[in-house]
Amino acid sequence: MKNTIQPNLALFQKMSSLPMGRQLFSKGVCIKAPYFNSIKPLMTDLRPGKAEVQVKKHRAIQNHLGTVHAIAMCNMAELAGGMMTDVSIPTTHRWIPKGMKVEYLSKATSDLTAVATGTLPDVWPDADEFTANVDIKDRQGVSVARMEIAMWVSVKKK
């Protein structure tokens, strides 16, 4: 029987039980997709329909006002939304982001947490758009940004 769990989900589940496992998993994601390393993310939750990424406020992601830069938050959203999509789709499918709608709601003055969610279909079509909704909150739980990412999901070419 063919394995039906996405490799990234299996790896996250295995590594989460190890000391520093989530940190190592997050570093591995950044090795595979180096641009994400600019935000120094920590993947804290990953399962079909949900992903959570934390980022500590640090100088490299601050703007001239001393708050977290808007594009750093977009980077967080793409990581959370992409990983959530990756572990949610069947192993027979692939995905790519098509576009992102962004709402900046408040200044991001502290560490941040991005939570990506998506409504999973009962049966995945051969090709369709899937929406990853991302809410980014500050340390006090205030939403500082919301993103809606359109993901194109289709069957892998043979």
Question: Each residue of 26-72: pLDDT tens digit?
Answer: 999 999 999 999 999 999 999 999 999 999 999 999 999 999 999 99
Domain 7-155 top-level CATH class: alpha beta
Residue 151 above 90 pLDDT? yes
Residue-wise pLDDT tens digits, 10-21: 999 999 999 999
Mean pLDDT value of segment 106-111: 97
Tell me the pLDDT band of 4, cut-offs 50, 70 and 90: confident
Phi and psi torsions of 105, nearest 5°: -105, -30
Instruction: Report d(CA 53, CA 83) in Å as an integer.
Output: 10
Query: What are the extents of the domains in the chain?
Result: 7-155
Mean pLDDT value of segment 104-118: 98
Q: Decide if 20 contacts 56 (C-beta within 8 A).
A: no
Strand partners, 132: 149
Nearest to 143 by CA among 99, 82, 102: 102
- For the record, the structure tokens of 105 come out as 């709601």
End-to-end CA, the chain:
18
